[in-house]
A and B are shown apart, each in its own frame.
Chain A
């Protein structure tokens, strides 16, 4: 079923939602927000996308690999950022003295916090998408990745 109103609206809504989510993510260390809220907003845009296009074309469906890579990638970024501290002879997750901290209040400041926030954001977005996919398919396993 093709619904033109839905499709046209979603073309505006989805990028706007994602932009807002990215704003929340990138400003996590400066203003209220961060990985969890930003990731949820971006994940919500994926859900909107699946809802609008799911019934029209199979190729528009977001794959299980997408959510899997987002989830795992997010965790890997976080852990790697933590291990950098050990490589530099400090403690796990050390920020000061390992990462460039920049000027307070600017976007490129606070060292690894932004990096970690992006990792959390990816993980949360992936999880939100994954939960939606699981609910949609009712626990069925279409491609073995479950």
Chain B
């Protein structure tokens, strides 16, 4: 039997291999679907076993090719990487199911699946990378694949949105690359753990290099993670993509860059530097902006997917807020929100996609009465919306509670109030949709529930929202140990 100790590389290899085999299969759609979903399932199983192992044995170092650091390439799986990998594999598998059995929005499913597999492989590689250069390679793969799964829809809007994303994302990549070069210049290492030990000595000698490098790094990842005010590309890109792409982009892709940035912060730069520079205050200020501006913009949207895209800007703000507050519970909340938001935003995007597909209606103002015609889909949408607002019992409540408690721990009451206000703003734009869908007057539009295969991923995600809301203790060991990486 295969030794699952190789899981850190095998996850990426299996996904990449499937991505390259699918074009060879041509038009045999059944086989293509099987390979696509099989690779996703295999990645999930390996990620699960890897997480168990990390919990039992601690951080895993996998030297690729058997060459040890600092000369060899090392895949470094700590609890944060294992947790992220598990979230990615789990949510990506469910979205993949939707890409296969959901409404068909792209002409060549084979090409689409290849791109999704490339994207998931790159994201998995990014969260587990142990050195900055491989991290950068995976950033590039995931950026290009993410742009391609928007443009593949082929409409004028999606091509324009993906081009804008390409330009800004390339700027971000350039910033990250330059910053990596500066770090390499003053440390002579690309391996993150070696950078940290070297920086203890050299940081004082080259403060300007380090400062420039960290600034470029924060801006580069900020653009890619759509941190306010660098979010301008996000609403167009996420709302004009095919439904499965929207769910992937909003649910997973923006968060992977936050994970990568935070991993660099504690693995490579060391938390002392993080504490010395005003990065935390920057995060606090910008996430405050995100929480307010994202909600206000979402409120005035009439296009369902655009509203969800602006809501993502807000939710990214929550995660940055958790890291910016920097008390243990706030970090736990931020880390937990990565999972919770991935689940609930995928749920909302998939449900919105199904509603648009079944009715042809994109405008929220015409959703009135549709809830009575498609009860299951709208019930799932309601669950997602409730979780976004943070109703107790749903997943969103737990992470928001943790961040708010973390704000109190850090003696920053104002941010607890901010979370409360932002939740009210969320309610102000999510609840009218639900109320008009269930209690509004009947629309003339005919609407029926989709077939079960299309509905299944949405129902599974809705159950997961409740599951993680009622049993948060399941993820607690991972999340708590992750917080310990930051606050020792």
Contact = CB atoms under 8 A, between A and B. Distances in A.
A32 to B, nearest CB: 21
A136 to B, nearest CB: 19
A58 B458 CA distance: 49
A75 B16 contact: yes
A97 B66 CA distance: 10
A146 B108 contact: yes
Interface stretch (A8-16, A47-55, A88-96): A88-96
A18 B232 CA distance: 47
Contacts of A6: none
B20 interface: yes
A33 interface: no
B66 A91 contact: yes
A145 B63 contact: no
A92 B16 contact: no
Interface stretch (B21-29, B289-297, B464-472): B21-29
Interface string A124-140: 00000000000000000
Contacts of B9: 82, 92
Contacts of B323: none
A68 B63 CA distance: 32
Given A85-B65, A146-B108, A146-B111, A92 B21 contact: no
Interface residues of B, number: 21
A30 interface: no
Given A68-B24, A75-B20, A76-B20, A83 B13 contact: yes
A94 B66 contact: yes
A93 B3 contact: no
Given A144-B27, A146-B108, A79 B62 contact: no
Interface in B7-23: 9-10, 13, 16-17, 20-21, 23
Contact of B64 (A69, A83, A91): A91
A72 B6 CA distance: 23
A19 interface: no
Contacts of B63: 91
A125 to B, nearest CB: 16
B117 to A, nearest CB: 12
A135 to B, nearest CB: 17
Contacts of B108: 144, 146
A18 to B, nearest CB: 25
A69 to B, nearest CB: 8
Contacts of B16: 75, 79
A82 to B, nearest CB: 7
A31 to B, nearest CB: 22
Interface residues of A, number: 23
B304 to A, nearest CB: 30
Nearest to A95: B65
A71 B26 CA distance: 15
A72 B21 contact: yes
B3 A86 contact: yes
A92 B24 contact: no
Given A76-B20, A79-B17, A92 B65 contact: yes
Contacts of A86: 2-3, 6, 10
A90 B13 contact: no
Contacts of A68: 23-24
A141 to B, nearest CB: 8
A32 B306 CA distance: 51
B65 A91 contact: yes
Given A79-B13, A85-B65, A146-B108, A92 B6 contact: yes
B26 A145 contact: yes
A96 B66 CA distance: 9
B348 to A, nearest CB: 31
B20 A93 contact: no
A85 B2 CA distance: 12
Contacts of A97: 66
Contacts of A93: 64-65
A92 B13 contact: yes
Contacts of B111: 146
Interface of B: 2-3, 6, 9-10, 13, 16-17, 20-21, 23-24, 26-27, 62-66, 108, 111
14 contacts: A68-B24, A79-B13, A79-B16, A83-B13, A85-B65, A85-B66, A89-B3, A91-B62, A91-B66, A94-B66, A96-B66, A97-B66, A144-B108, A146-B108
Interface of A: 68-69, 71-72, 75-76, 79, 82-83, 85-86, 89-97, 144-146
Given A71-B20, A72-B21, A145-B23, 14 more contacts: A72-B20, A76-B17, A76-B21, A79-B16, A82-B13, A90-B66, A91-B6, A91-B62, A91-B66, A92-B13, A92-B64, A96-B66, A97-B66, A146-B108
